Structure 1
Amino acid sequence: MKPTIYDVAEKAGVSIATVSKVINHLPVGQKTKAKVLAVMQELNYRPSILASALTGKGTATIGFLLPDLANPFVAEMARRVEDRAHERGFNVVICSTDFDRTKEARYISLLRQKSVDGFILAGGFKNVDLIMELLKGHIPVVLLAESYPSLSINSVKVDDFSGGYEVASHLLSLGHRQIAVIAEEASSSQERIRGYKQAMQDKGVKIQNEWIVIAGSSSEDGKRAAAELLDRSNPPTAIFACNDLLAIGVILAAREQGFQIPGDLSIVGFDNTLLSMSSDPPLTTVEQPIQEMCAQVVDLLMEEIEGKGKAKQRIMMMPQLIIRQSTTTFCPGDAVKNPS
């Protein structure tokens, strides 16, 4: 027979209310808490999440939907969110949607059936109608690395426009003028492109739309897009890849076509993942304050769950350009035609 909360209380020598407080992460003495947890483990007692939800106490669980766990930056977000949620006494159910609307709808439905207390939706979430449905149902939801200005919703993201502007300004300061961009189909990439264009305009450099390529988000996508750019008779002297995975693909394509990095081609990524530090050469990239972003988004969700958050907040954090060995000065007299 499965143990009950009554069995735990009797064996621990405490009241049922005390056991309930431990289960729901409410304040109790450390010794009492340790004793109750030890008894729960000894009896293999597992509190019913659904029963807790039905009594209006919540499940101390949040759903986190993110686009692609294969991306190191997204995987790091998952870890940081989970760590912060655990600090606040919450568990996290992580679902990878692969930018698929059907998966988004399926996971939202599943997590609602599991009575999660709220949702964190990471950048790349495509189904705005689902977000509106959650908001109309008064379900706590916040956005991470994404923002929808038309919706009254809490969000935390980096200033992608500033990031794109910094990258282009850096490359322009090195003498580059033929600067290509490889981007994802995401609002963050569009903002980074907008920043790139503004920097080019401010410097009086003509923007050539054929230098801007929209691809997928993987290293393979970056490699294919870069191969096409570098195969031109007058290839770019610099490429801004809108995430580090794309940048790794650019490096692979450049090597295959005989380009030296950074002598023939300067490359910049975005996200400052471990890939950027371990690549050869180490990658110039843009760092997002991921720890602060993830802590902030969890705290905002907790406020909503606890009914404390009233005014919605759209928090935008500043990125930082990290200069490494994949970019260098370009001299017009040293222009290199396609080596192949």
Structure 2
Amino acid sequence: MKVTIYDVAKEAKVSIATVSKVINETGRISDKTRKRVKKVIEELGYSPNILASALMGKQTKTIGLLIPDLANPFFSELARSIEDYGQLMDYNFVICNTDYNFEKENKYVTLLKQKSVDGFILASGFENLERVEELMKEEVPVVMVARDLPIFSVNAVALDDFRGGYLAASHLIELGHTNIGIIARDLWSNRERLRGFHQALQENQLKLHPKFDFITETDSIEAGKIMTGYYLEDDNRPTAIFACNDLLAAGVVKKAKELGIVVPDDLSVIGFDNTSIATIIEPPLTTIAQPIESMGREVMNLMVSIIKGEKNECSRIMLLPTLVKRQSVVAITKNK
């Protein structure tokens, strides 16, 4: 088991900050205390990480926030929420857009480590698990947001995506829809949403036509349009489409209008996230809401507690989604 700075502090009966000062040879510490800490370091075989020591002893009050797509309203609103709460706690941010790209993720993590940020907040879509594991081994504060990472003991503030997909399917089924299309990007959170969606179908003895369970490569209005066109060209077209975010759902609505298909009379549409785009499009979008403001608050509370050394155990905070009913979904009897 790897010896950490917390182990040294506990054994030497001093604070983590004191251990950091001994390592960095800074601050006013008595010779007696300094010798005791050094002795414990030697006895435990602790190898101090330069970055971690700098973080504990010389905080920059800056946090690295890695976002996969700032063009997606969910991520821009989430970044704003995190930043707002961070400012209240006197923290600044370096926000990096990774485009779901491994090379960019590596580049930004390396750059932010060089700048000795106090910690990393990694948003949903960050799939570079090797870098996550690396940061954890280096004792750098890390919090995942809008996704969980069960294979690691990493701090996370996540949404119950399974429940979100289940709510979406249940709402459509209650309104009589049985022929339903799905549009989703292949990401961990969306796979959970699809799993919940399928669970609700199974409980009602329903199955999706294989064509109606479609995974796209991008999150954009254009991607939503393309996939919608693919669905609606079929004679057995769906009566409803579930898009795994509001951006894709907006593309569904736009393509339907281009084809002369009326939403919701001819096609019901339900999205996910409850971003500003859900109220801008016409008709206003029924969607599964993520508690973005609460997410930002919980992330910052957790991050600051880790930076201050107040938490030694991994925390997973799971938030619940809610169904927001608007005008893009109607009962199947009205769709005929």
TM category, shorter: 0.7 to 0.9
Mapping of residues 72-151 of structure 1, within 5 Å: 72-151=73-152
Cα deviation per residue 1:272-295 (whole Å; 9 max; x = unaligned)? 111101110000001111111111
CA–CA distance in structure 1, aligned partners of residues 260 and 303 of structure 2: 50
CA–CA distance in structure 2, aligned partners of residues 309 and 291 of structure 1: 23
Matched position secondary structure for 1:102: helix
Select 2:238's aligned residue among 217, 229, 236. Answer: 236
CA displacement at 1:231 relative to structure 2: 0.7
Tell me whether 1:311 sits opposite 2:310 in the alignment.
Answer: no
Matched position secondary structure for 2:317: strand
TM-score, normalised relative to structure 2: 0.82
Matched position secondary structure for 2:64: strand
Matched position secondary structure for 1:316: strand
CA–CA distance in structure 2, aligned partners of residues 272 and 292 of structure 1: 14
Quick check: 2:159–2:319 contact (8 Å CA) kept in 1?
A: yes
Quick check: 1:53–1:59 contact (8 Å CA) kept in 2?
A: no
- Name stretches of at least 5 consecutive residues in structure 1 with no aligned partner: 1-49, 336-340
CA–CA distance in structure 2, aligned partners of residues 86 and 63 of structure 1: 14
Aligned residue number for residue 263 of structure 1 = 265
Quick check: 1:161–1:191 contact (8 Å CA) kept in 2?
A: yes
CA–CA distance in structure 2, aligned partners of residues 208 and 54 of structure 1: 53
Cα deviation per residue 1:62-88 (whole Å; 9 max; x = unaligned)? 100010000111001111111111111
Tell me whether 1:246 sits opposite 2:248 in the alignment.
Answer: yes
CA–CA distance in structure 1, aligned partners of residues 300 and 83 of structure 2: 9
CA 1:54–1:241 in 2, change beyond 3 Å: closer, same or farther? closer
- Name stretches of at least 5 consecutive residues in structure 2 with no aligned partner: 1-50
Task: Report the residue type matching 1:102 in the other structure.
Answer: E
CA displacement at 1:53 relative to structure 2: 4.8
Select 1:276's aligned residue among 275, 278, 282. Answer: 278
Task: Report the residue type matching 1:230 in the other structure.
Answer: L
Aligned residue number for residue 192 of structure 2 = 191
Aligned residue number for residue 16 of structure 2 = none
Cα deviation per residue 1:288-337 (whole Å; 9 max; x = unaligned)? 111111111111111111111122111111111001000001139x65xx
Aligned residue number for residue 287 of structure 2 = 285
Quick check: 2:168–2:270 contact (8 Å CA) kept in 1?
A: yes
CA 1:55–1:307 in 2, change beyond 3 Å: closer, same or farther? closer
Matched position secondary structure for 1:150: coil
Matched position secondary structure for 2:57: coil
CA displacement at 1:55 relative to structure 2: 9.2
TM-score, normalised relative to structure 1: 0.81
Q: Structure 1 stretch 304-313 or stretch 98-107: which is displaced more?
A: 304-313
- Identity value in percent: 48
Indicate the RMSD between aligned Cα atoms, in angstroms: 1.6
Mapping of residues 163-202 of structure 1, within 5 Å: 163-202=164-203
CA–CA distance in structure 2, aligned partners of residues 288 and 328 of structure 1: 22
CA 1:63–1:55 in 2, change beyond 3 Å: closer, same or farther? closer
CA–CA distance in structure 2, aligned partners of residues 61 and 74 of structure 1: 19
CA displacement at 1:200 relative to structure 2: 0.5
Tell me whether 1:70 sits opposite 2:75 in the alignment.
Answer: no
Quick check: 1:238–1:266 contact (8 Å CA) kept in 2?
A: yes
Matched position secondary structure for 2:318: strand
Aligned residue number for residue 3 of structure 1 = none
When the two structures are aligned, how many residues end up with a matched partner?
284
Matched position secondary structure for 1:269: strand
Task: Report the residue type matching 2:224 in the other structure.
Answer: G
Select 1:217's aligned residue among 216, 219, 230. Answer: 219
CA displacement at 1:208 relative to structure 2: 2.5
CA 1:75–1:154 in 2, change beyond 3 Å: closer, same or farther? same
Matched position secondary structure for 1:108: helix
Quick check: 2:180–2:208 contact (8 Å CA) kept in 1?
A: no
Matched position secondary structure for 1:93: strand
CA–CA distance in structure 2, aligned partners of residues 79 and 231 of structure 1: 39
Cα deviation per residue 1:17-37 (whole Å; 9 max; x = unaligned)? xxxxxxxxxxxxxxxxxxxxx
